[in-house]
Amino acid sequence: MKIVCCVKYVPDATADRRFNSDHTVDRAGVDGVLSELDEYAVEEALKIREAVDESEIVVVTMGPDIARAAILKSLQMGADSGVHVVDEAIHGSDAVGTSLVLAKVIEQQQADLVLCGMASTDGSMSVLPAMLAERLGLPQVTFASEVSLDGSTVRIRRDGDAATEMIEATAPLLLSVTDQANEPRYPSFKGIMAAKKKPVETVSLADLGIDAADVGLDAAWTRVEDAQSRPPRSAGTVVTDEDGTGADRLVEFLAGQKFI
């Protein structure tokens, strides 16, 4: 089974995230990492490879040169190879543009199974898996909190707001997993050493047969007019409960704000 796992390089959530002057996310000036939620997708791919003979995992990302770090981390965890789409023209692509590029890579790879995380930790739109399924005409089994495989049939548990659903589809298909699906492994020393020898192919838009005018900031179907940092919340009142009056003062505050 050929598994293509889509991953994203994002600014570290614990860093001071910010925007560039063109209102795109600053990915170069802020420490970046493999989006935490994509680790669950990589882990699920590894579990499936362990269960299904003759499987291989190709990790795909797009983004500037430094985005290669997201592929490297996935290879250290155990994925087999990587494809990195690098092209100046993709800067500023929205989800529509991103899905166009990734769908082309997946087509070229002839994937049996496409794996994604539930959302990125920067844009956190969580629409890319659905867009990929739409573009590729694949069954969409997404937001899986539990995955089981029976031959080419995939069955997942999806915990929705109102109900828990069990969903079934047959490969080839697109699967996205939540942080409930598994426990991502840490790269071992052996894994880190092995990753250095694993192949990572760099491809351009031209290699994918995509017109540069169809992606990037100017081709995006949405435009950010304005991005501002919010003023930090002004410091409130903090009391200690040493004298046992904490609860009463808390309730007084709530009553004063008309919450009671």
- Residues between 1 and 30 that touch other proteins (CB under 8 A): 13-14, 17-19, 23
CB of 100 to other proteins, least distance (A): 9
Rounded CA-CA distance 55/80 in Å is 10
Region from 59-67, 84-92, 132-140, 189-197 binding other proteins, contact rule CB under 8 A:
132-140
Say how many residues touch other proteins, by CB under 8 A: 86
Contacts of 137 (CB under 8 A, 6+ apart): none
The piece of 43-51, 67-75, 114-122, 203-211 that touches other proteins (CB under 8 A) is 114-122
Are the C-beta atoms of residues 49 and 81 closer than 8 Å to each other?
no
Please name every residue paired with 143 in a beta bridge, in sequence order, or none if there are none: none
C-alpha distances in Å from residue 89, one per residue of 101, 193, 238, 255: 11, 33, 50, 56
- We find the least distance from the C-beta atom of residue 133 to other proteins, in angstroms, to be 7
Shortest distance in whole angstroms from residue 158 CB to other proteins: 8
User: Residue 48 CA to chain centroid, in angstroms?
Assistant: 19
Under rule CB under 8 A, residue 204 binds other proteins: no
- Bond from prior residue into 172 cis (ω within 30 degrees of 0): yes
Measured from the CB atom, the residue of 14 and 21 that comes closer to other proteins is 14
φ, ψ dihedrals at 18, nearest 5°: -155, 175
For Cα atoms 139, 211, 140, give the angle at the middle one, nearest 5 degrees: 10
Smallest distance, Å, CB 195 to other proteins? 26
Q: Which of positions 48-67 make contact with other proteins (CB under 8 A)?
A: none
Which residues between 64 and 103 bind other proteins (CB under 8 A)? 94-96, 99
3-state secondary structure of 47: helix
Q: Which of residues 156-195 bind other proteins (CB under 8 A)?
A: 158-170, 173, 178-180
Contact call for residues 118 and 182 (beta carbons, < 8 A): no
Residue 42: Cβ-neighbour burial (10 angstroms; 0-12, 13-18, 19+): buried
The only residue of 52, 69, 86, 127 in contact with other proteins, by rule CB under 8 A: 127
User: For residues 28-47, which are near other proteins according to CB under 8 A?
Assistant: 37
Interface residue with other proteins among 33, 41, 128, 203 (CB under 8 A) is 128
Instruction: Give 75 or 141: the residue with its C-beta nearer to other proteins.
Output: 141
Vertex 62 angle, CA 80 and 123, to 5° = 115
Instruction: Show contacts with other proteins in window 133-152 (CB under 8 A).
Output: 133-135, 137-143, 145
Whose Cβ is closer to other proteins: residue 54's or residue 242's? 242
